[in-house]
């Protein structure tokens, strides 16, 4: 039975919305999630699979980390391939931390199961979702479902509905500043039921373009090659993809890779985007609704999780301690971390991809930086710190130069 009122209305039933709902429920705060798609559609989306240690710890805190800890793959390093050879970045040795390979689909599944177990309300297939009155003390959201208009009064609205969602689109253009860069290429990716070519991820910088060898499990792989934005999936047969991937890998990986039929194939554009601020009265944005990163640095899901961590704590502080300090500081706190992740994702993308306008000197400079990166402990440590995820405490210091 759908209530007429809740404490927090959450728009979007992806991992950020579901995780927020779980953390709020654990603190005794009522919440309802409204999602325009079906639950099956949400689960069908193929997305990221690299979890920072802080994200894995947050899933444990939410009480949904059991299967992740059992089935996820613990990775202590990554490999950079260039010049026909691979060079390992020892993430754990340099930082004492690791990442977990566990698909976003699996995270979503675990969160859905947990929400179902405690009887949490999620309204799926909600058409024409609209937030109202978020600049007042009495916000609400409306939507159409089964031929009826539904209205849900609330105290806060959490916009967790992604880059194309209604939450950010409902904010007056004069109230938000957008920063955006679109990259002149995309990623062609496939999912295949084949064993990984390496037990760790391989990021390859090659004359023909970037390639990434990733995985979802010991028997399921995710591979990508940089492609033109004009390419279409239909132009790429499985055979053409595997041939191109092997050309961009070092000889050992190219010879040992196991190929097979793709079970999913898609092309994704790359962009960097931030919308500031992330709070508008009683509407607070989280995840892709507020920022997008190129996938090179594996930051998208992890940034969404850190937003949710800050937002959950701010809302709990409001309802339990009657303090709005966390709400008032939410946007600034998140954005300090967001911009660090944007910088890393932009840098790593610039380092590993072939750009059409940089010419021969750009390639030489890329190679020089790669040589320096793998040959310098200081440079390797800086990369490893960013890849495994900066500590949350890093966002709270006050720089004397600010």
* HSE-CB of 327 using CA atoms within 13 angstroms: 19
Conformation bin of residue 383: beta by default, left when phi > 0, alpha when psi is -120 to 50: alpha
C-alpha 159, offset from chain centre: 15
Q: Which of 102, 224, 330, 387 is catalytic?
A: 387
Handedness of CA 135, 136, 140, 144 (dihedral sign): negative
Q: Hey, how many other C-beta atoms are within 10 angstroms of the C-beta on 97?
A: 17
- CA nearest neighbour of 51 among 280, 214, 180: 214
pLDDT of residue 400: 29
pLDDT of residue 397: 33
pLDDT of residue 1: 77
Alpha helices in 50-103 (DSSP H): 53-62, 66-71, 91-95
- Condensed to tens digits (0 to 9), the pLDDT of residues 286-342 reads 999 999 999 999 999 999 999 999 999 999 999 999 999 999 999 999 999 999 999
Q: Which of 25, 206, 299, 353 is catalytic?
A: 299
- Condensed to tens digits (0 to 9), the pLDDT of residues 332-371 reads 999 999 999 999 999 999 999 999 999 999 999 999 999 9
With helix as H, strand as E and coil as C, how does 336-354 read? HHHHHHHHHHHHHHHHHCC
Q: Which of 102, 203, 223, 224 is catalytic?
A: 203
CA dihedral 201, 205, 208, 214 (to 10 degrees): 10
pLDDT of residue 402: 29
Report pTM. 0.95
Q: Hey, how many other C-beta atoms are within 10 angstroms of the C-beta on 396?
A: 11
CA distance 47 to 178: 24
- Mean pLDDT split into 10-residue runs, the chain, 402 residues: 94 98 98 97 85 96 98 97 97 97 96 98 97 98 95 98 97 97 97 96 97 95 97 97 98 97 96 98 98 96 97 98 97 97 98 94 97 98 97 49 28
Q: In what order do the strands lie in the sheet with 262-276?
A: 85-89, 78-82, 202-204, 211-217, 220-227, 177-192, 262-276, 291-292
pLDDT of residue 398: 37
- Condensed to tens digits (0 to 9), the pLDDT of residues 17-45 reads 999 999 999 999 999 999 999 999 999 88
Q: What are the domain boundaries of the chain?
A: 8-179+271-390
Q: Which of 295, 318, 330, 353 is catalytic?
A: 295
CATH number of 8-179+271-390: 3.50.50.60
Q: Give the CA radius of gyration of the chain.
A: 22
CA distance 196 to 200: 8
For the question of residue 41 being annotated catalytic, the response is no
Q: Which of 25, 75, 291, 353 is catalytic?
A: 75
CA distance 105 to 97: 24
pLDDT of residue 28: 98
pLDDT of residue 393: 64
For the question of residue 330 being annotated catalytic, the response is no
CA distance 96 to 104: 24
For the question of residue 3 being annotated catalytic, the response is no
pLDDT of residue 205: 98
| Count of positions (residues) in the chain | 402
For the question of residue 397 being annotated catalytic, the response is no
What are the Cα distances from residue 81, in Å, to 71, 255, 297, 349? 27, 15, 15, 14
Q: Hey, how many other C-beta atoms are within 10 angstroms of the C-beta on 325?
A: 11
For the question of residue 98 being annotated catalytic, the response is no
Cβ burial of 304 (10 Å; 0-12, 13-18, 19+) is: buried
pLDDT of residue 395: 43
Output the six-digit token pair for 398: 């006050």
């Amino acid at each position: 039975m759908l209530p007429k009122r809740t404490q927090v209305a959450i728009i979007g039933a992806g991992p950020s919305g579901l995780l927020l709902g779980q953390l709020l429920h654990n603190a005794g705060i009522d919440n309802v999630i409204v999602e325009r798609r079906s639950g099956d559609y949400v689960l069908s989306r193929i997305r990221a699979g690299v979890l920072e240690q802080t994200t894995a710890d947050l899933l444990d805190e939410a009480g949904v980390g059991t299967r992740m800890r059992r089935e996820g793959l613990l990775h202590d390093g990554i490999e950079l391939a260039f010049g026909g050879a691979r060079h390992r970045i020892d993430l754990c040795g340099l930082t004492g931390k690791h990442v977990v390979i566990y698909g976003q689909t699996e995270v979503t599944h675990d969160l859905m199961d947990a929400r179902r177990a405690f009887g949490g309300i999620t309204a799926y297939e909600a058409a024409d979702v609209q937030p109202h009155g978020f600049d007042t003390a009495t916000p609400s959201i409306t939507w159409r479902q089964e031929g009826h208009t539904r209205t849900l009064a609330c105290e806060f609205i959490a916009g967790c509905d992604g880059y194309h969602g209604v939450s950010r689109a409902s904010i007056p253009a004069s109230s938000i500043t957008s920063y955006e860069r679109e990259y002149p290429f995309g990623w062609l990716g496939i999912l295949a039921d084949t064993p990984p070519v390496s037990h760790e991820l391989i990021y390859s910088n090659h004359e023909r373009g970037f390639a990434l060898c990733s995985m979802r499990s010991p028997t399921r792989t995710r591979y990508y090659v940089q492609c033109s934005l004009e390419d279409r999936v239909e132009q790429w047969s499985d055979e053409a993809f595997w041939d191109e991937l092997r050309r961009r890998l070092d000889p050992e990986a190219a010879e040992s890779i196991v190929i097979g039929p793709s079970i999913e194939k898609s092309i994704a554009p790359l962009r960097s985007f931030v919308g500031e601020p992330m709070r508008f009265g009683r509407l607070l944005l989280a995840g892709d609704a507020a920022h997008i990163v190129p996938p090179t640095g594996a930051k998208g899901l992890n940034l969404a999780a850190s937003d949710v961590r800050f937002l959950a704590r701010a809302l709990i502080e409001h309802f339990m301690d009657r303090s709005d300090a966390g709400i008032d500081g939410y946007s600034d706190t998140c954005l300090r971390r967001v911009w660090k992740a944007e910088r890393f994702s932009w840098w790593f993308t610039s380092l590993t991809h072939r750009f059409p306008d940089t010419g021969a000197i750009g390639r030489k400079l890329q190679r020089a930086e790669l040589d320096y990166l793998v040959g310098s402990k200081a440079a390797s440590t800086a990369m490893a710190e960013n890849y495994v995820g900066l500590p949350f405490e890093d966002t709270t210091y006050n720089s004397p130069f600010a």
